[in-house]
Amino acid sequence: MVVEAWLPRAASAHPRRTAIETPEARLTYSELHDAARGAAATLAEQGIGAGHWVALGLPPGVQFAVALHACLLLGAVSVPVDPRLTPEERELVTARARLVVSQPLEATGRSGAALLETHDLAAAAIVVHTSGTSARPRPIELTYGNWLWSALGAALALGLDPEERWLCALPLAHVGGLSILVRSVIYGTTAVIHERFEAERVLAELVDPAGSTLVSLVATTLARLLEAGLERPPRLRCALVGGMALPSELSRRARAAGVPVRHTYGLTEACSQVTAQPVGEDEAAGEAQTTDDAGTPLFCTQVKIADDGEILVRGPTVAPRSVAADGWLHTGDRGLVQDGRLRVSGRKSNAIVTGGENVAPEEVEAVLAAHPAVAEALVTGRTHPEWGEAVVASVVLRPGREVGPSELRRYCGEHLAAFKVPKEISLSAQPLPRNRTGKLVRSG
């Protein structure tokens, strides 16, 4: 199946609407279309055509968007590269690319390139590398159909304002940030792109009376915004929080500040979102939702739980090569479905087996994080001669707060079965290790 090419369609329907905005620059859809066509001609002169992989090593911003759309107009496959990678990491990600774009693509004035007027929904559009915490990144080929269905599903879950401004301060080399750029051109709305997360700059955008209507965050960046003074942003109708568990105390703080937080669950292989707490849900019901509640599946997305508790996903957003022989994407995450809502309990591979019992480290971390003196916690398993593995924790305290390991163990004992209580808790003065998308790093 083919559909009208997204950027030409948006440029025809909304030529004067802002397509991309950064703190330094902005392009209307007409201007973005012109720039992308010129960049596509430059790529074609370098031998790039349909199906060729093109690595985009540009920082998030206008020039990244121009290069991305130039590839889409040619049918070339974009491979976003995180500019923060080391040379060795960069080499792994760009190994299959015919061309690495590390400078803005300037139009040459020659326009002999054959540009696409349609997109084949079965064709590969963008390759996104997973941000795995213990393994090398894996390339995931996402098709035009994956991106289109993801955009449709998100619109139905979150609503769609014709004057939408979706703020992205996430890396564009990862699916959560990149999806904002792609969805916005499908909708013909505005993507507000920040090169990196800077709390004061994001805060200024959100409190602006003409500011963003949507923002994508992780728990860490939400906490930083609240600490910076975010309160009752005038136009914001949804702060979508994913990437990790949303601590209950943080959720309460956000709601008290008038920030409309909605939790989401997703992964690269499913082209970002799988489930989301819908915008417009009764706020009183939202207040009662537990922190593991990731909402309901997106339109045409199916979720079921395997016999061993693993979350399985099926639908048109799933990358074709990520589907197992049984027809499902095996996420490696554990959870359950209650009343049609997905509740995520943690990574299947992270389970700690102690005395024959399985312990989800995320569950213990959530309890520790609920203690008023605790800023963040990391729970892992340590080899133990008697128990097989012992549950141990590393905790970072909030500034000015004091609490000892023994008191924290007693606190855990009030909320967890005895076998889940950490045998040892150490206090760390340094922030816990996280990967580029904010997920805790549990092993090297």
Q: What is the pLDDT of residue 288?
A: 41
Q: What is the pLDDT of residue 83?
A: 82
- Same-domain check for residues 178 and 110: yes
The region of weakest confidence among 106-110, 197-201, 321-325, 339-343 is 106-110
Tell me the average pLDDT of the chain. 91
pLDDT tops 90 at residue 82? no
Q: What is the pLDDT of residue 286?
A: 46
Task: Over range 127-153, report the average pLDDT.
Answer: 85
Tell me whether residue 337 is in a domain. yes
- Same-domain check for residues 367 and 274: no
**Count of domains forming the chain:** 2
pLDDT tops 70 at residue 269? yes
pLDDT tops 50 at residue 51? yes
Q: What is the pLDDT of residue 249?
A: 82
Q: Residue 70: give its domain's CATH number.
A: 3.40.50.12780
pLDDT in tens, 298-315: 999 999 999 999 999 999
pLDDT tops 80 at residue 373? yes
Tell me whether residue 436 is in a domain. no
Q: What is the pLDDT of residue 444?
A: 43
- Same-domain check for residues 235 and 334: yes
pLDDT tops 80 at residue 247? no
Q: What is the pLDDT of residue 440?
A: 79
Tell me whether residue 439 is in a domain. no
- Same-domain check for residues 297 and 390: no
**What pLDDT band is residue 84 in, cutting at 50, 70 and 90?**
confident
Query: Cβ distance 190 to 142 under 8 Å?
Result: no
Residue 20: which domain range? 2-346
Tell me whether residue 432 is in a domain. no
What percent of the chain lies above the pLDDT cut of 90? 73
Q: What is the pLDDT of residue 184?
A: 98
pLDDT tops 60 at residue 283? no
Last residue of a domain, which of 346, 374, 393?
346
3-state helix/strand/coil string of the chain: CEEECHHHHHHHHCCCCEEEECCCCEEEHHHHHHHHHHHHHHHHHCCCCCCCEEEECCCCCHHHHHHHHHHHHHCCEEEECCCCCCHHHHHHHHCCCCEEECCCCCCCCCCCCCCCCEEECCCEEEEEECCCCCCCCCEEEEEHHHHHHHHHHHHHHHCCCCCCEEEECCCCCCHHHHHHHHHHHHHCCEEEECCCCCHHHHHHHHHCCCCCCEEEECHHHHHHHHHCCCCCCCCCCEEEECCCCCCHHHHHHHHHCCCCEEEEEEEHHHCEEEEECCCCCCHHHHHHCCCCECCEECCCCEEEECCCCEEEEECCCCCHHHCCCCCCEEEEEEEEEECCEEEEEEEHHHCEEECCEEECHHHHHHHHHCCCCEEEEEEEEEEECCCEEEEEEEEEECCCCCCCHHHHHHHHHHHCCHHHCCCEEEECCCCCCECCCCCECCCC
Tell me whether residue 435 is in a domain. no
Which pTM was predicted?
0.85
Please give the residue that has the higher pLDDT: either 220 or 5.
5
pLDDT in tens, 21-44: 999 999 999 999 999 999 999 999
- Same-domain check for residues 218 and 137: yes
- Same-domain check for residues 215 and 177: yes
Task: Over range 246-261, report the average pLDDT.
Answer: 90
Q: Residue 405: give its domain's CATH number.
A: 3.30.300.30
- Same-domain check for residues 175 and 86: yes
- Same-domain check for residues 266 and 387: no
Most confident of 44-53, 104-113, 413-422: 44-53
Please give the residue that has the higher pLDDT: either 383 or 88.
383
Task: Over range 284-290, report the average pLDDT.
Answer: 47
Q: What is the pLDDT of residue 243?
A: 76
Task: Over range 57-67, report the average pLDDT.
Answer: 96
